[in-house]
Structure 1
């Protein structure tokens, strides 16, 4: 018995050492490199979730503490790409952290091109967080690097991003136009050319130069991207409306709606947060596996001792089985008594179920009455009726509304009446919310769609999505909460 046990332990240790020796750093690098190339291919196909999963798996394989340059470079490329995926899905803080870690990796290997790319990505994320000064710092740093490299196409790209992501949001339209014009005069690819044309059209619209805006906007419609077309049609709609051409405005509104529906189909789901959690779990698992490998010999000795102890316990248990037979007979007798009691309880439960069914029917009747009462109460408010009209059909008449502060105050008061002091409870939970934040929450509580709310706020639907994200992350401090904005509001 002892000889067999010793042989088993030695054989297991030999197999474990063979497995450990096979998993070399070079092989881990090759597996991670393959996953990185697969991820970049998926990203080019706009399959962001699948790409992110490849990048996360590759990072997990690389582990921590790399010292050779090619592994550090690959780690930086993985983190920079993963940061771009986080940014796409609204995980801005995580995206900024990933891009910064990527910059440190690229600086270790003195790769100026990759540092410049990561700096641009940091600028994009900082802009989404409305940290405009930080965004300009990142773009200026990237521009200084690309100037030293004398990369003309990249200079054009950064000019475009500086104009679009910094000067336009801060309201410096002349400087924004200068940057975008330099980008158009440079060497942009087709996609960035469409973005630049759209941006110039928007800038001319903001400065009320409608005739100057139209050629750029029409040129941007060559793009195949539904999201970009949606923004262009929204701007063309605003121009036609301001010029009094309501027929043209309605045509653009229909095209905007079609593009919005197509854009919604192109959006990836919110599984990126789950992938991030899985990556952290895998990283912890990798560390644990390393620890287990270092302690493998001790572990097998403990297992051997445990096996011997289990054999001894088995002998003791076998001896005591006969002693338990009498107890089992007593147990069977008790079970019969319990079964009789269970039959009685089942009968009582059936009576309770019938009573519960009656109560549920009563609640359904009351719920229908509550819905009718809510409609009657809220139907007296101009904000509510305007939103209902926009939800049914967007027309030129329904777009011509004028809501006063009194209308909004009455809307919030009626919402409090229907939902038992909703706005007070909301402000108690999230005191940083402003006046318009509370109005947005009340509209969401009443079940109005994102399109209707963005029209009431006189903003683009994409801007409204970003605003919801800012309210959740900055005003409610719920950046780590995986629930949607509507789920958080409805839970209040």
Structure 2
């Protein structure tokens, strides 16, 4: 009774737990669905929702993979830097094993390529982009195909393959226009404008920059400042410094981020320095000196150094040069320290990995040898068990065979006793049967002799004028006997007629105590030819004589005798004449 109650309690607990897990799974699935809805229109909201999920490190299986992929996607859309590829690698590893969601696997490949590209691993990233492209091309997901084209274009541009990069960007631009994705059109336009800028194709670059700027202002996208700044760079590269000034000024005035504002000051200062407007250049470059970024300050001090040097203000120039050098040295020291720390961490990480690998190899080796030893022992045990079992089965089989043989011996002994009991009676009956056959043969011979004597006497009687004649049956036997003598003496000419064959069969049936009748009773399937062969062999004729009777070859007679053995049921090695002689 207690066992039954325990079983029911365990079943109830498992049911409640499964329902609870199912509800949690449903809630998490709903959260992920919401994140996907906000990912394109409000990526910051999607990131906030993902950060609100409690204990994401405890998620396992599909839930963990979905979270890792969505978090990577949200971070990418919010322009966040990736510190490592561990998060997206978790998703990629899961979807690569679980083949039920190939679209998720392809999406994980795409974002893994994005993370690698941010880590300056362009070649590796390209492989993942192309793998994702193959899948999305087969399912015709043009939106992601456009994103992949943008990424592969960036890699080609970084490798200075501007023609290939431009082809990818054109493809992305065409897809975005087909999908009526205005933000995608702006991105593709900027990529093409930059490619034309690197190729010094000013008109094409200017066209796509202005196209992206007009669409950005219309849709209120956050690309306006970046486009204005790049237009300033375009005109500065063209040598039209006056045309570049309003774009740089407009970017500076619209920039709200303080740090980015210092970057715009640096660009304006460098532009004014090129234009020869020393005071304006000095003012903006000094403003950029307040940046928290060391490299911005280094550039500011370096430009000020050249500015003061050009106007022969060497004291100020030296001061700016020393400041630039001090910051550069400090940065090199920091970078060296960071590099050493990074190398130290990498060394410790590799050492830990090697230690873990060595321990894993030792454990695997120990496990392998343990399994081998276990299998060897188990094999020996199985061998001896099977051998012992086979031995026992053999003993049982032999004992059973001995018992069966003993029982068979008893049966045979009983049969021998019965045969011995009836042996005398059988011998007596055989003796009487043989005497009967001899008597019948003797009487048949006498009948024939008397029939021949009657034939002779009938002829004499006819000569004397008497009327008595020999009977039909006696005349038939006498004629058959004459044919038989002619066959034996070899004086027979021509082929026997059916009537003569019938007379011979009747004679043999008479001579040998219903010989033909007994043959047919034993083997009803015998043909007329078979019966004739049996009779002639009984009479003692050989193959040559049989060949003359049937007017055929001796080989044909031999084959006919072989077939006759089969019908009579005797072995092919037995002598047919001997068998028929005793029949």
Q: TM-score range by the shorter chain?
A: 0.3 to 0.5
Higher relative contact order (CA 8 A, sep 6+): 1
TM-score by length of 2: 0.39
Which of 1 and 2 has greater Rg? 2
